[in-house]
Structure 1
Amino acid sequence: MTSPIGGISFPSAIPAVGGLSGTTGADAAAPATAAGDGGFAAVLASSVDRLQSVQSTSDALAVQAATGDLRDVHDYMIAANEAKLATEMVVTLKNKAVEAFNEIMRMPV
Structure 2
Amino acid sequence: MSVSGIESLGFTPYVAPTATATPPAATEGPSGPSFGKLVVDGLEQLEAMNDRTDNLAVQAATGDLGAIHDYTIAASETSVATQLTVAMRNKAVEAFTEIMRMQVG
TM-score w.r.t. the length of structure 1 is: 0.69
Matches within 5 A, 1:63-102: 63-102=58-97
Residue 9 of structure 2 corresponds to residue 5 of structure 1: yes
Task: Give the conservation status (yes or no) of the 8 Å contact 1:65–1:73.
Answer: yes
Q: Amino acid of the residue matched to residue 9 of structure 2?
A: I
RMSD across aligned positions (CA): 1.9
Once the 2 structures are TM-superposed, how far is the Cα of residue 6 of structure 1 from its aligned partner? Answer: 4.1
Task: Give the conservation status (yes or no) of the 8 Å contact 1:44–1:90.
Answer: no
Runs of 5+ in structure 1 lacking a partner? 10-20, 22-27
TM-score w.r.t. the length of structure 2 is: 0.72
User: Distance in 2 between the 1:6 and 1:56 partners?
Assistant: 13
Q: Amino acid of the residue matched to residue 94 of structure 2?
A: E
User: Distance in 1 between the 2:37 and 2:68 partners?
Assistant: 34
Structure whose alpha-carbon radius of gyration is higher: 2
Runs of 5+ in structure 2 lacking a partner? 1-7, 18-26
User: Distance in 2 between the 1:51 and 1:77 partners?
Assistant: 16
Relative contact order (C-alpha < 8 Å, sep 6+): which is higher? 1
Once the 2 structures are TM-superposed, how far is the Cα of residue 43 of structure 1 from its aligned partner? Answer: 2.2
The count of residues paired between Structure 1 and Structure 2 equals 85
**2:33 counterpart SS class:** helix
Which structure: greater helix fraction? Answer: 1
